[in-house]
Amino acid sequence: MSTARPELHVLRQGHGDPVVLLHGFPLDHRMWSDVAAVLPGDAPILAPDLPGLGTGPVPGAEPSVDVAADAVADLLDATGARRAVVVGLSMGGYVALALAERRPDLVAGLGLVDTKSTADTREARENRWRIADEVAQAQTVDAVLGMPQNLLGTSSRQTRPELVARITAWIGDQSPDGIAWSQRAMAGRPDRTHVLVGFGGPVCVVVGAEDTVTPRTDAEHMVGASRAARLVQVEGAGHLSAVENPAPVAAVLAQLAAQALA
Indicate whether 136 pLDDT > 80: yes
How far is Cα 238 from Cα 225, in angstroms, rounded to an integer? 23
Is 30 part of a structural domain of the chain? yes
Angle 20-26-31 from CA coordinates, rounded to 5°: 45
Task: Check which CATH number belongs to the domain holding 23 and give it.
Answer: 3.40.50.1820
> Dihedral of CA 22/23/26/29: which sign?
negative
Would you state the pLDDT for residue 6?
72
The closest alpha carbon to 253, from 25, 6, 26, 47, belongs to 47
pLDDT band at 13 (very low <50, low <70, confident <90, very high): very high
Is 136 part of a structural domain of the chain? no
142, amino acid identity: D
Give the burial class of 230: count Cβ atoms within 10 A of its Cβ; 0-12 exposed, 13-18 middle, 19 or more buried: middle
38, amino acid identity: V
How far is Cα 25 from Cα 214, in angstroms, rounded to an integer? 13
Percent composition of the chain: helix, strand, coil (DSSP 3-state, to 5): 50, 15, 40
Instruction: Count Cβ neighbours within 10 Å for each residue of 117-136 and write b for 16 or more, e otherwise.
Output: bebbeeeebeebeebbebbe
Would you state the pLDDT for residue 2?
42
Is 37 part of a structural domain of the chain? yes
Angle 30-31-33 from CA coordinates, rounded to 5°: 65
Instruction: Count Cβ neighbours within 10 Å for each residue of 237-256 and write b for 16 or more, e otherwise.
Output: bbbbbbbbbbebbbebbbbb
pTM for the model stands at 0.97
Q: Is the peptide bond before 161 cis (omega within 30 degrees of 0)?
A: no
Range of the domain at 254: 10-119+189-260
How far is Cα 168 from Cα 242, in angstroms, rounded to an integer? 16
* pLDDT, tens only, 205-247: 999 999 999 999 999 999 999 988 999 999 999 999 999 999 9
* pLDDT, tens only, 75-101: 999 999 999 999 999 999 999 999 999
Indicate whether 31 pLDDT > 80: yes
- Which residues, in sequence order, are bridge partners of residue 10? 46
Is 64 part of a structural domain of the chain? yes
Would you state the pLDDT for residue 258?
95
How far is Cα 56 from Cα 149, in angstroms, rounded to an integer? 25
pLDDT band at 199 (very low <50, low <70, confident <90, very high): very high
Indicate whether 32 pLDDT > 50: yes
- The domain tally of the chain equals 1
Is 97 part of a structural domain of the chain? yes
Is 140 part of a structural domain of the chain? no
Share of residues in the chain with pLDDT > 70 (%): 98
Is 183 part of a structural domain of the chain? no
Is 250 part of a structural domain of the chain? yes
How far is Cα 57 from Cα 234, in angstroms, rounded to an integer? 33
